[in-house]
Structure 1
Amino acid sequence: MFKKVSLALLVLLLVAVALGYSNKDQLLLAVIKYKSANEYEIGPARELNWAQGPAQASAQSAQRPPNIILIVADDLGYNDISTFGGGVAGGRVQTPHIDQLAAEGSVFSQSYSGAGTCAPSRAMMMTGRYPTRTGFEFTPTPSGMGGMVASISAGINNGLPPVLYDAELEESRPPYEIQGLPPEEITVAEILRDKGYQTVHIGKWHLGRKNGMAPHEQGFEESLLMASGLYLPEDDPNVVNAKLDFDPIDQFLWARLAYANSFNSGNEDRFEPGGYLTDYWTDESIKVIKANKNRPFFLYLAHWGPHTPLQATREDYEAVGDIKPHRLRVYAAMIRALDRSVGRITAVLEEEGLAENTIVLFTSDNGGPGYIGVPDVNHPFRGWKISQFEGGIRVPLFVKWPARIPAGTVVKTPVAHIDMMPTLVAAAGAAEPEGVEIDGENLLPLAEGASEESWGRRTLFWQSGHYRVVRHDDWKLQVTARPDKRWLFNLAEDPTEQENLADAHPEKLAELTALLDEHQRQSRGPLYPAVVEMPVAIDKTLAEQFEQGDAYIYWPN
């Protein structure tokens, strides 16, 4: 797996064998953990020198464009927030701050992510363009992850079909750091920067780290980047961990990830965050808001929570009560931290007198995953992250802007992450880039209460390799090559996708297939190949036994 093995690593392997790590995968994970721990020097936590705006507001502040804050959760299930009547652990853990944000603004009740996984969704938020135009179709993964996940999966007897992995193809793929959004793509951050905004990114990026792809090279003047993925060190006295022995991805992440950020340097200059990641990034976001209160700013707060590895603070773990199983309690505590973050952001806007003319948007990059073993994260919708059933792509979208958006507005029109960029550009009074095909639409008229019958777009697309999906009006078609399957649903009558109408409505099947084929004909093709295909059960979590006849898809990445 690695070309060079140091003396220290050989000693580690001998110790691992002596301790009983006779399993090949455990040995490889030990190697990955060792290599990761020694890959980069990680310095101590440091004070960040955020750029300071003017001490006083200008005389033209009354005409100042709105501040913009985009808060994106990672892998948040539709049922994880209580806005829609649910909440984690059967509603035991509520999300009052997120609920308040929704109540004071506009709720898009049929909002979709850009994809069933994170990175393509984030690229669509930044550009307003489908991956068929940008080529950014798959989620970047570290070298060796596909093979490691395939190997671990083979040893887990959960009944699923095998993971398909092409090691030779992976050799042809670019390194992880440059699997990203091409620098020539124009991001919303670049447009807002050129409009005079102070543009700041905090958190996850996942759109490349080198060669012009890092956030500070894609329009953000300042970037506090998630350089790895632990919320706290695994042995921190204040952390409660939940490891998932049934999930090969989780096993890889615990071996691969460290506790590190970087500042304005992409992949370099790593240092420890100043606390539990969700809270620390919120602390820094508050500093950014205060530093820029007298000039327009765009803050992209891209949370990691509640993505695995599951780690919570001990305080949050105790606060949510005696929830079982343990992994659900840790997960619930992570949701509590995420909700607290939203509350702290909205509170500081009030304290600084910025709330009236600040547009705050809240969403998730995709639906909740089945691989955490929590059955109801996407209730009532079917499916999970790494699928394009409604559970994988239906996400919350709340937009609050007191100066323009009436509280309590509910929009039923289907919208998606491709609409984020043109919406924010319009809010800032900026222009979309000339000569660039933008697939998204400005959502502000809908949010402000315009008639939904005036909305012109009827069709949305999703694509990951051979797995292609279209929603046209209320009809949704999913097409996969593995298995060779067509699912056709009427979402107006069957929003949870229970009755496959592909055989009963051949004319509608043909109509939507033609739309998919035309969309595919316009594709530039992916920037780099998919090297792994993951089998994903649609109706069961990864903690449950897959049985013959259960529905599944293969997800290319």
Structure 2
Amino acid sequence: MMKKVLLPLMVLLVVAAGVGYSMKTQLLLVLVKYRSANEYNVGPAREIKWAQAPADAAEGGQRPPNIILIVADDLGYNDISTFGGGVADGRVQTPHIDQLAAEGAVFAQSYSGAGTCAPSRAMMMTGRYPTRTGFEFTPTPSGMGGMVSSIAAGLDNGLPSGIYDAELDKSKPPYETQGLPSEEVTVAEILRDKGYQTAHIGKWHLGRKNGMAPNEQGFDESLLMASGLYLPEDDPRVVNAKLDFDPIDQFLWARMVYANSFNTGNEDRFEPSGYLTDYWTDESIKVIKANKNRPFFLYLAHWGVHTPLQATREDYEAVGDIKPHRLRVYAAMIRALDRSVGRINAALEEEGLADNTVVLFTSDNGGPGYLGLPDVNHPFRGWKISQFEGGIRVPLFVKWPARIPAGTVSQTPVAHIDMMPTLVAAAGASKPESIEIDGENLLPLVIPEGEQGWERETLFWQSGHYRVVRHGDWKLQVTARPDKRWLFNLAEDPTEQSNLAGDNPEKLAELMALLDEHQRNSRGSLYPPVTEMPIAIDKTLAEHFLQGDEFIYWPN
């Protein structure tokens, strides 16, 4: 009789414990949201006063090209239709991005600097690996590591438990001071010293204080993403999609507000004047017009299509009845990003600047599995955070009508470390002689009169214990947790299906030696990781992880 009473009681206790845990998490998220809303005063939208060039262009000499670097955030390889894909089985095309690619050069084997955003952006700015700069991990807002770990522990998705070091988290510098060291030389500093007007619009994620803010790293002007909502959550113009299976998404909805700042790092926040992707495009066009008569460098660092998923109602209706709801919102965000590229190119044409403007388009990394959308990186395996091809293969298109023939395609493996030396060379400037630059100038690969090709055979990626090398067509991935090696011949197996680590010990040893040599020269990480989260390689976060499915622990 006692057993019959105890069994229902135990079930009730388990249910109560589960409800209690869920309630605790929700209460913590409410607290995060309350603190975020009261952390800063966010003022009303205001007009941005961009510096104006002289009314007449300077005479004499050949004017160097204008340069526009457009970086999408978390854009999947299959999200654009350039490569024959597109969102929702191709229902949503990206004609303006496709046109940019068709009118310039396509780098068919292009890689991000890392599987996550901030290290990739640091490599674009400096041309240097994290082993040199120490900027190896993506800084996260205060409380994010512990909160995300707590939420993840309460999800029944089959993944192993994560690791969180609370004491280390407490000892780390504040979020605003975790950034790219001020002594690093950025492409913006070099171009500014060459006489360019330099403007940054959008995401930065390389520090906001102590000499790390955009204005302190070479940009004359900076319209900074101070938080991360595209529109207020309850705005009648917006359609939201929340991902209850994603701990990061739950944290972002609680933590983010709708705010920018201008030339103040992170202070003096104010609301943007519209949907973030469109608003930043509006301001970018103002920069183009303001600098018509002098060379300029514009770094347009979009937040789209990163979560939280928010689209304008107009775009949501335009993409049609796509299911599930989150895919429709995501497709609408892709539409806005494509529109941005089209409007930038149209503005250059209208101002008579298109021929002598270098426009580059890329993404900071591949699409994430935490979206719950399985095809964003098709045909490649893996997601953002992993360093399988799906996590680090990104589009890279360069348009420069005066120098690069339309329809040019390069098959040479290139990466974000090549951005800085390429832009410096395009401007006719010189790389700094006092520091080592790891990247190469891409222009000889795509300009007919240039010296074709280069001798580089090797690219590296590193995130703590998770290290990767591509040497020729061979790629090796090494992790300590789990203790595993993946070896692929990308010429024969571009989607990384057949692990050859056990069948080719000589090639494995050769690539391990390259990784070890690269690591020997490392200065070490400036900000050690406080979490290690399990990431499934072949399943989205909306799918249930099963025993035998492959995964990696991602340190950050």
Question: Which stretches in structure 1 are left out of the alignment for 5+ residues?
Answer: 1-18
Match of 2:554 in 1: 555
Post-superposition offset of 1:143: 1.4
What is the SS of the residue equivalent to 1:216? helix
Distance 1:458 1:193 in 2: 32
Post-superposition offset of 1:435: 1.2
What is the SS of the residue equivalent to 2:541? coil
Post-superposition offset of 1:451: 8.7
Counterparts in 2 of 1:216-235, with a 5 A limit? 216-235=215-234
Counterparts in 2 of 1:84-233, with a 5 A limit? 84-233=83-232
Question: Which stretches in structure 2 are left out of the alignment for 5+ residues?
Answer: 1-18
Distance 1:154 1:21 in 2: 10
Structure 1 counterpart of 2:474, which letter?
W
Distance 1:447 1:551 in 2: 38
Distance 2:458 2:171 in 1: 35
Distance 1:449 1:124 in 2: 27
Match of 1:447 in 2: 446
Match of 1:16 in 2: none
Counterparts in 2 of 1:477-492, with a 5 A limit? 477-492=476-491
Distance 1:545 1:454 in 2: 45
* Aligned residues: CA RMSD: 1.2
What is the SS of the residue equivalent to 2:283? helix
Match of 1:12 in 2: none
Match of 2:287 in 1: 288
Match of 1:56 in 2: 56
Counterparts in 2 of 1:110-509, with a 5 A limit? 110-449=109-448, 454-509=453-508
Structure 1 residues 324, 450: closer, same or farther in 2, change over 3 A? farther
Cα deviation, 1:404-444, whole Å, max 9, x if unaligned, reads: 00000000000000000000000000000111000000000
Is the 1:111–1:396 contact (alpha carbons within 8 Å) kept by the matching residues of 2?
yes
Post-superposition offset of 1:20: 10
Match of 1:537 in 2: 536
**TM-score of the superposition, structure 1-length normalised?**
0.96
Structure 2 counterpart of 1:424, which letter?
L
Is the 1:242–1:311 contact (alpha carbons within 8 Å) kept by the matching residues of 2?
yes
Distance 2:266 2:48 in 1: 17
Distance 1:472 1:539 in 2: 24
Post-superposition offset of 1:196: 0.2
Match of 1:26 in 2: 26
Post-superposition offset of 1:453: 6.9
What is the SS of the residue equivalent to 2:78? helix
Is the 2:21–2:154 contact (alpha carbons within 8 Å) kept by the matching residues of 1?
no
Is the 2:445–2:452 contact (alpha carbons within 8 Å) kept by the matching residues of 1?
no
Structure 1 residues 21, 157: closer, same or farther in 2, change over 3 A? closer
Distance 1:135 1:542 in 2: 30
Is the 1:128–1:439 contact (alpha carbons within 8 Å) kept by the matching residues of 2?
yes
In the alignment of these two chains, the number of paired residues is: 538
Is the 2:422–2:440 contact (alpha carbons within 8 Å) kept by the matching residues of 1?
yes
What is the SS of the residue equivalent to 2:28? helix
Is the 1:409–1:449 contact (alpha carbons within 8 Å) kept by the matching residues of 2?
no
**TM-score of the superposition, structure 2-length normalised?**
0.96
Q: Percent identity?
A: 86
Structure 1 residues 451, 68: closer, same or farther in 2, change over 3 A? closer
Distance 1:118 1:212 in 2: 20
Match of 2:37 in 1: 37
Post-superposition offset of 1:163: 1.4
What is the SS of the residue equivalent to 1:316? helix
Structure 2 counterpart of 1:23, which letter?
M
Is the 2:444–2:452 contact (alpha carbons within 8 Å) kept by the matching residues of 1?
no
Post-superposition offset of 1:452: 9.1
Is the 1:535–1:552 contact (alpha carbons within 8 Å) kept by the matching residues of 2?
yes
Distance 1:529 1:492 in 2: 35
Post-superposition offset of 1:450: 6.8
Post-superposition offset of 1:454: 3.3
Structure 2 counterpart of 1:72, which letter?
V
Cα deviation, 1:101-127, whole Å, max 9, x if unaligned, reads: 000000000000000000000000000
Is the 1:21–1:27 contact (alpha carbons within 8 Å) kept by the matching residues of 2?
no
Distance 1:21 1:31 in 2: 15
Distance 2:447 2:186 in 1: 25
Cα deviation, 1:189-223, whole Å, max 9, x if unaligned, reads: 00000000000000000000001000011000000
